[in-house]
Structure 1
Amino acid sequence: MLLCRPQCAHQHQVFQELAAWGRTSMGWFFGLKLHLVVNDQGELLDCCLTSGNTDGRKPVRNLL
């Protein structure tokens, strides 16, 4: 994930249209999620960025 602490969220303007609030087991964050597909040898096959509030299962269909 590309994220920032909640206290600093108002300062970040670069991906303002795409970044969003999300929640993980470690707490709240403001940012993006990076989804990667790798093979058994560790080679990168595909990737995509989604907003922080996107369900992690949604981009799987497009990546595979």
Structure 2
Amino acid sequence: MQTRMKEFRARTNMTQAALAEAVGVRRETIVFLEKGKYNPSLRLAWQVARTLGTSVDELFIFGGEEDE
């Protein structure tokens, strides 16, 4: 999975810590999401996208064998 979280966070001037607090997770979870090391639940993906003012499919790019 690839993500555009860092790009969308920059657009909103939101830190990883602020995003984590807004969606109710630890900052480390945001770090792992941004690096593509963690696949979020649908609920978390939706919360992050909503907080960053975008949609799940704009924020996360799913596909490829590594995602299976």
TM bucket, shorter chain: under 0.3
Higher strand share: 1
Q: TM-score, normalised by structure 2?
A: 0.26
Q: TM-score, normalised by structure 1?
A: 0.26
